[in-house]
Amino acid sequence: DVKVTQSSRYLVKRTGEKVFLECVQDMDHENMFWYRQDPGLGLRLIYFSYDVKMKEKGDIPEGYSVSREKKERFSLILESASTNQTSMYLCASSPRGEQYFGPGTRLTVT
């Protein structure tokens, strides 16, 4: 079974804090993705990575950055958290085709 884990299920941070969300997969997948999920907006792609140290912007990259130093780990960084970044964050990994999702991190920025 493919296993994708995320560092926290729930996180509360203050405006202006730097926030790290981590995702780990155990299936040696090349591709990893970060999405945010908001009611009525579906899943929107923030960033993705197709190899170690390689990354590309998705549809809504503003206010976010990512890091992929090891194949199994893909980190999402909020440089200075703002209230409009309160959301559910989902990580996914993929060989080619099907994407396997992590359980999600519900981030609240106050």
Partner 1 sequence: GENVEQHPSTLSVQEGDSAVIKCTYSDSASNYFPWYKQELGKRPQLIIDIRSNVGEKKDQRIAVTLNKTAKHFSLHITETQPEDSAVYFCAASKASGTYKYIFGTGTRLKVLA
Q: What's the closest the beta carbon of residue 94 comes to partner 1, in angstroms?
A: 6
- The contacts of residue 43 (CB under 8 Å, 6+ apart) are 35, 36, 37, 90
Coarse DSSP helix, strand, coil percentages of the chain, rounded to the nearest 5 percent: 5, 60, 40
Q: How far apart are CB 102 and partner 1 at their closest, in Å?
A: 6
The DSSP symbol for 83 reads: G
* Piece of the chain touching partner 1 by CB under 8 A; list 15-23, 43-51, 60-68, 79-87: 43-51
Q: Give the interface with partner 1 as residue ranges (CB under 8 A).
A: 30-31, 33, 35, 40-45, 48, 50, 56, 58-59, 90, 94, 96-99, 101-104
